[in-house]
Structure formats: C-alpha cells, structure tokens
Amino acid sequence: MYKKIQSYQVTFYDFNQSCGMELSSENEWCRLGDQIAWNELEETYSKKFPGHTGRPAFSVRMALGALIIQKRMKLSDRALVKAIAENPYYQYFIGLQRFTSKCPFTAPALVSFRKRLDVDSLIKFNEICLKDLKPTPEHQKTAPEKSENGENVGTMILDATASPSNIRFPQDFSLLNEAREKTDHMIDILHKQFREKLRPRTYREVLHASYLNVAKSKKRTAKAVRSLIRKLLCAVKRNLQFVDSYLDRGGILTKKELTNLETIRLLYVQQKEMFDGHTHRVDNRIVSISQPYIRPIVRGKAKAPVEFGAKYDVSVDEKGHARLEKISFDAYNECNTLKCALERYKTRTGHYPKRILVDKIYNTSENRQYCRENGIRLSGRGPGRPPKPTFEERKIERQDNIDRNEVERFFSREKRTCGAALIVTKLEETTLSSIALSVFVANLFGIPFGPFFIIFLLDVQNTGENRHFLKFFDADDEF
C-alpha cells in the first residue's frame, strides 16, 4: 500500500528547528532537496503499490533520499540510520516536517528500499531529474543550439566500465575449501535431525590443516596447489554424497542452504572440468558461492586486469548528463550497445547527435555503416589499415580524444565519491540497483543544483564544427 502525501516538505523557513537551531539555505542538501521534482517521482514510485490495504509504505522522498545520502557519504546501513538521527540537514532532505532525535526507519528497511528502487525505476528517475533542470542564466546563454528540421546536432560520448563487488579473490583452492566447509555444516545440521550416534567421517581437521599449509605459504608451487585441489575435490564430492543421502531420507535444509548446495554442485563440476583439462577457463565460471551471479570481467587495466562485478555502459550527452545504457554481470561486447544508445538519444531529442565519441572497440564495420547512413560522425579509425591521415584529420582526432575524456571524468567522480568503486550489497537485484543509483547520484552532484555548477563553453574552431567543453565552477565563484 502506498499513501500519497499532499505536501512533501514545508518551506525551508517553516522547518521546525528545535533548540534554536537555524539551517543554512546554502547547504547542498537543502538546495538539492528543493530542486528535485519529488511529486513527479512519486507518480512513478506509487505504481509499485497497486493495493489499497496494508501498512503504508515510506514515501519516495524518504526512501530515495536515504539511499542518495548513503551513496554520497559512503555509509553503511546502520551508520546511515545513526547519521540521519543526528543531522537535521539529512532530515530536511528526506522530507521530515521537523527535527527528531530518532530515524523514522531502521537499517533492515534499507534493503527493501533498494529492492523497490530497481534499475528501471532509477533510470526513469534519472530522466525526470535531467528533464526538469533549471539552468543558470549563464548556462542558458552558452547552451548548445537546437536542431532545425531534424538535422543532427550535439555530441554523445559512450564508454563501458565495471564496478567490482566486495568478494574475496577467487582462488580455486579457497573456493573448494569454502564449499567443503559449507557442506560440512550441512552434514552437521542433517545429522542432528536424525539423532544418529555416528556422524559421517569427513576428515575436516586434516583437510583444514592441508588448506592452511598451502594458503599461508609464501611460495606456492604448482604441484602443491594441484595436490590440494585434488584432495578438496574428493572431499566435496564425498560431502555431497552424504548430504544427498540425508535429503533422500527426508532431511530438511533452509532455502538459503539449498541455494548454496546447488551452487556448490555447479562449482564442483566446473572445478573438476578445469582440473581434468589442465586449464583455468570455463564458461559462466563461479567466483563466489554466496554471490554466484558475479562473473569475471576482463578489462585490461594495469591495476586490475580482471574485475569481479557488473559491467555497464554509460553515455554522456552534450549537456554533461550521464545515462545508464546497459548493465549486466556477463562480459558482453560493448560495441553492440552503440545502436541502442543512439536510438534512445533520438527518442529523447528527436534527432541524432552530430558526432559520437567512442574508443576503438566500438569502431566495427557495422557500427560505422550505421553512423554513415544516419549522418553521424563516429570518432576514431575503422578496422583494417586506414590511409595516412591529413593534418586536419589528425587535429580532429586529437580533439575527439580530448573531449572523450569527459566520460572518464564521470567514471572517476562516480567511483570516488558515489560508491561505485566497491559494491557491498549481496543480492543480485540490489547490486544492480546500487550501480544504477551511483550513476544517478553522480548526476545529481554534477549538474547545476549540486555543490558546483557545470558551464558549457561553445568553441568554434577552424574545422567548422561546434564543440562543447565542460568547465567546473564552485558555488561561491563569480561568473
């Protein structure tokens, strides 16, 4: 059940401030709370509660506002509840009518907030906030020109990145040892249900000592690791047989334990296949038993060649607004995202962009043909051996590379200040919504109603093309 609230927030000066406190209207949370179109967000959020019975849900301002604070300040669930109870600015932002010494919700409620605010909802919220921007007068003067007769105008930047999840580095012997410990625990539970005198022999102490001997060694030889994996494979296979025998006799496990059991079965099959084939590759490889949906993403970065988390594409338009184009735990080829991103751009604006800035992986023959047919200039060079570029072509290519750095700046802001550098949620749906929320929050604190302004400068060079450059100003700067 969702009960609509007629007035989300009293005016700033009517906020009941106890103990003689006085809030500053220049605070970033007060400014941001007054600029977001909460009423329009409520229309989308209330559709998730079709019934008219039951306990009324928290308002969208309270649910979304709490998650925005959590992302921005990088707080845990319990720390967020404590911070809201102590900070009147946070309470004003989430829509409370007066200051209170107690948070209106508990830490477990934040899990429900993240489940309800899924990826699709956050993408819609992002569009609503970007659509209702009120730019400064300086922004209006330097805004890009509008399209006439449907001609291509503007710039779009497209790139992909990955947000790693908070899991242990997935070594084969550590995963198998974790599977052995979990199945040992299942055997203990099932053994108590049947009240038998003799427990199945699993050699847990011997295997644990063998695991520590390899795990704590400074130099692990390939022979020692392979020997340990052989022992653990036999142990996991034996434990699975014991668990199956108990279940066939009527043993009962919880839903979570049954889910882990199915994951362990698949893990054993994958590890046995790699062990027998003397390889380290397998399709849909499991890297975490508690989060089996996570897949290794090869990014080719110097610091972390492989990341374990979700991969997603983000587009940035000529106004500096970022949008989540695609997100998945599978290592998809991002070149297939270009067409869909351009079509969504046309749906929003009524025309295609004049140019799209991408890296080399997007420069496939199919994508270049698609851009030529629609009058879009695709940055970079196509596949094959291109002819020697002229001076003007090299100048344009260099400028495209400079302008394309805007999406890298967005990724940096999203990961450094909005929690996308490490995703700590555990469920599949909440992990995806956490990444989408990071993109949304990075937008909120990068557009004019954030703590700083983005002013677009129009520069017409000898190439005859309109190029838009971003410059950042603090809120206290004079224009």
Give the pTM.
0.85
Measured on CA atoms in the order 383, 385, 389, 394, is the torsion positive or negative?
Answer: positive
pLDDT in tens, 340-373: 999 999 999 889 999 999 999 999 999 999 999 9
Q: Are 164 and 329 in contact (CB under 8 A)?
A: no
Q: Give residue 172's pLDDT.
A: 95
Q: What DSSP line would sit under 318-373, residue for residue?
A: TTS-EEEEEEESS---GGGGHHHHHHHHHHHHSS--SEEE--GGG--HHHHHHHHH
Q: Give residue 254's pLDDT.
A: 95
Q: Give residue 49's pLDDT.
A: 85
- 432: tokens are 């995806």
User: For residues 135 and 129, what is the distance between their CA atoms, to the nearest angstrom?
Assistant: 12
Q: Where are the domains of the chain?
A: 12-117, 140-166+308-474, 172-277
- 474: tokens are 């603090």
Q: Give residue 390's pLDDT.
A: 86
The label of the residue with tokens 């196509």 reads 382
307: how many CB neighbours lie within 10 A of its CB?
A: 20
Q: Give residue 399's pLDDT.
A: 92
Q: Give residue 132's pLDDT.
A: 63
Determine the angle formed by the axes of helices 428-444 and 60-73, rounding to 10 degrees: 80
Q: Give residue 151's pLDDT.
A: 87
Q: Give residue 4's pLDDT.
A: 67
Question: Beta strand 296-298 with 306-317: parallel, antiparallel or unpaired?
Answer: antiparallel
Amino acid (1-letter code) at residue 70: Q
- 367: tokens are 């994508």
pLDDT in tens, 182-202: 999 999 999 999 988 889 999
Q: Which superfamily does CATH assign the domain made up of 140-166+308-474 to?
A: Ribonuclease H-like superfamily/Ribonuclease H (3.30.420.10)
- Which has the closest alpha carbon to 306: 159, 165, 158, 174? 165
Q: Give residue 5's pLDDT.
A: 64
- 227: tokens are 């020997």
HSE on the CB side for 204, CA within 13 Å? 14
The residues of the chain scoring below 50 in pLDDT are 134-142, 448-479
